[in-house]
Amino acid sequence: MSDILMPKATAVWLVDNTSLSFEQIADFCGLHPLEVRGIADGDVARDIRGVDPVTGGQLTREELDKAQANENYRMKAIVSRHAELLKSAKPAPKYTPVSRRQDRPDAIAWFVRNHPEVADAQIAKLLGTTKSTIESVRNRTHWNSTNIKPVDPVTLGLVGQLVLDEVVKKAADKKAKDDLKNGGGTIQAVVEEAEPEFVPEARERPSAEPTAESVFGKRD
């Protein structure tokens, strides 16, 4: 399909002003030959005004003449700067090479062994995998279970260290809160031993009636 502006309007002009075949017009405008036939019959694009691709800078006169002289010739459009601007800027989906697809199960195994507190949804989002794959690695039902070994996803280049640390920290904090809510991991009150009550030493009380010995002392 050619990247031209207003393909239907261009097809209308070519149908009305050239001897090109439906197939040639369809190929140049990126339409189906039956759609071009419908334009010629007046069933399609009847309210669209034709646009000259030659004066519009999308087709050279030489290309048009070649195509009219040879029914098998397919015209090549001039690349339009405006057509490039209209293209979607959305990047293409990231393709994972076959040689690196084993990295994800290894990273999943690392999470399962070292950080079981991280939820499957977090792992799936972080590694770009699915929950079913995570479950198969955890249950050892994965088709390649015998070759899966836990490997740090940072080492594999699947995620950055700062991002991994943040995910693990959030999962650990959530687990701590859940344990506290469920009665586990409660803080035990510190019971201090009471100091023994001070009791003054008992003093020897004098007898009610003093004796000569107690007053003058014992004589040798």
3-state secondary structure the chain: CCCCCCHHHHHHHHHHHCCCCHHHHHHHHCCCHHHHHHHHHCCCCCCCCCCCCCCCCCCCHHHHHHHHHCCCCCCCCCCCHHHHHHCCCCCCCCCCCHHHCCHHHHHHHHHHHHCCCCCHHHHHHHHCCCHHHHHHHHCCCCCCHHHCCCCCHHHHCCCCHHHHHHHHHHHHHHHHHHHHHCCCCCCCCCCCCCCCCCCCCCCCCCCCCCCHHHHHCCCC
Q: Does pTM top 0.75 for this prediction? A: no
The per-residue pLDDT string of the chain (220 residues; one tens digit each, 9 = 90 and over) reads 456 788 889 999 999 999 999 999 999 998 899 989 988 888 877 778 888 999 888 889 999 999 999 999 999 888 655 545 555 555 555 455 544 556 889 999 999 999 999 999 999 888 888 999 999 999 989 888 888 889 988 888 888 888 889 999 998 898 888 888 887 554 454 455 555 555 555 555 555 566 666 666 666 5
- At residue 108, the pLDDT reads 92
